[in-house]
Structure 1
């Protein structure tokens, strides 16, 4: 099987060499509130390393809509104590941002760390790392890493990585899709990736998703002449609909589909703090807005957390949006 993409450069080879040389436990981590790219990348590498006979610990809380991808026992609860002689592999997130890395407290770890990520805001500090913002999904880089590890491709590994590729390319609808992404998809499909099975599961929503949607649409606002669409959800709305925070994850993509919208904002209102999910198009950078608010992410998809009530956070959000729209207008 040929190399999957141009991401298989010297940096990934160094990551592979460190993983192959390490004989102790390997802890595989990704970001909080994992999406399909985070889960797919973790499962792909975990399954590959276990095929090589390595002891792998992968602590992750999987949101309900992605549980179809996991097998019993392959993921574990949050890690409270580091196993002796461990190495940590951090995927799809900067290992230097412990507030975003989930599954364990990286600030207490003193051993070797490898990092594979595709976020441009990555600070690039690890024992070995590969950071390539040109890649539309971390799963593409992990697929190359699996190749470099010399692992035999299986349906289980390929399917997990296909989930990541589908998630972060919007099923190949985003401008971030590269020719390498299509080549990677073809190779994963050749290896047995269950594309239809993944798509069927991702298209299903629990009844509570629709009950909560009625509540969320009641908060809908079109701002800046319709260029920005914003909606909010809080605990009271969850209680009335019988839903959970996990039911909220896909709403921001739906908001982005509003005609004329260049930015969609989904606000999770926890009372004393808020979490923002941002999606953009038409030259508007969700990343710029998120970074100005202390968050991060990609140009078309980013997020931030603000430690203040929504009424106060909204002013800061509005200022960041206004500045970004002004930048876009000035560039035209």
Structure 2
């Protein structure tokens, strides 16, 4: 069974079996969901489970609206549009997001669902409330947990299952560059390759950018700020910029990784300014916690990658961001000073 090298729940194997049993024994339709604005881990995990359950003869519906850069992976008809009503006798399998976070779960209204729920996630902020639960923040990606779930389901491994799960793994590890990458992570990636995962094809697809990526990049760079002595780098996108570039909101997320590569920056912030609300995408390194900042703003995520939405115009939201950043920098500086005196 796949395990990370950072610990995790002592009853992890039992949780895997509980989740697999709940999925295997449910005779009705299964609705597989993830978070809004899905990334590669969300899509990869959803496709991995959806394909495995269909291999077992289950009726599955996977409501998901994809950004442009991920539309290469699903086959025609594999995903469906948002549910207007829950199927009779459905089980909800919610992946890579807390099933109780009704705002972030995409594709269906969880607040109106009263049936059984399975939740598989790797976020430490998960409330851990589901009928069958598998939450392990020590895992670098939900896709890595899904490898264990598919093993427990007894599915037959092939390229069709391995490729989307490899996408999830490389997405949330930054192509195995992030500190969350462990020997187990690499072994999992190797195992998926042995099952036929198309690594080169995935990378070729992921590296292709539409022309609007570059026209919007010009707009994004015009807003670039280096603050706190270069420790923080920030850029902003709004509707007017998208209109000038001929781009859409689903093309914006990739820029936060570009900002993160700024030399000396411990925090990268990409601002999506919707006018009446603002979404912050945060990436951090060097001991600084993007998660702490996001939680202070009402959001969540991981220590190196997190996000939050503030329901206020940008000037007000920016003031809240600056306060949260100041608090986190003060915490980090105090910790560093204490370590230096030991």
The one of 150, 155, 162 equivalent to 1:158 is 162
User: Paired residue for 1:230?
Assistant: 234
CA distance in 2, matches of 1:297, 1:5: 21
Please state whether the residue corresponding to 1:259 is helix, strand or coil.
coil
Partner of 2:67: 63
C-alpha separation in 1, matches of 2:208 and 2:250: 14
Per-residue CA deviation, residues 151-186 of structure 1 (Å, 9 max, x unaligned), is: 001101100100000000000000001221111111
Partner of 1:217: 221
Q: Which residue of 2 aligns with 1:22?
A: 26
- Deviation for aligned residue 1:89: 0.2
Instruction: Report the equivalent of 1:144.
Output: 148
The CA deviation string for residues 98-131 of structure 1, in whole angstroms up to 9 with x for no partner, is: 1000000000000000000000000000000110
Query: 1:4: which partner in 2?
Result: 2
State the partner residue of 1:300.
304
Alignment correspondent of 1:256: 260
> Using the alignment, how far apart are the partners of 2:165 and 2:318 within structure 1?
37
Give the CA deviation at 1:5: 3.3
| Distance (whole Å) between structure 2 residues aligned to residue 173 and residue 113 of structure 1 | 33
Give 1:12 shift.
Answer: 1.1
- For residues 188-217 of structure 1, give each alpha carbon's deviation from its aligned partner in whole angstroms, at most 9, with x where no partner exists: 100000000001111111000000000010
SS in structure 2 of the partner of residue 291 of structure 1 = helix
- Write the distance in 2 (CA, Å) between the matches of 1:213 and 1:192: 35
Q: Distance in 2 between matches of 1:74 and 1:259?
A: 41
TM-score (norm 1): 0.98
Q: CA deviation at 1:4?
A: 3.4
Contact 2:67 2:251 in 1 (8 A): no
Q: Which of 44, 51, 58 is the matching residue for 2:48?
A: 44
Q: Distance in 2 between matches of 1:5 and 1:176?
A: 13
State the distance in 1 between where 2:259 and 2:66 align: 24
Aligned to 2:191: 187
- Deviation of the 1:247 alpha carbon: 1.3
Structure 2 unpaired stretches of 5+? 337-342
1:187 aligns to what SS in structure 2? helix
Contact 1:46 1:58 survives alignment (8 Å): yes
Q: Distance in 2 between matches of 1:157 and 1:61?
A: 20
Which of residues 102, 106, 125 is equivalent to 2:129? Answer: 125
Counterpart for residue 53 of structure 1 = 57
Structure 1 segments unaligned to the other structure (5+ residues):
none
Equivalenced residues, count: 330
The reply to whether residue 98 of structure 1 matches residue 102 of structure 2 is: yes
Displacement of 1:231 after TM fit?
0.3
2:272 pairs, out of 268, 272, 275, with 268
* 1:239 partner SS: helix
Deviation of 1:246 (Å)? 1.2
For 2:283, the equivalent position in structure 1 comes to 279
SS of 2:72's partner is helix
- Residue 47 of structure 2 aligns to a residue whose secondary structure is helix
TM-score by length of 2: 0.95
Supply the RMSD in Å over aligned alpha carbons. 0.8
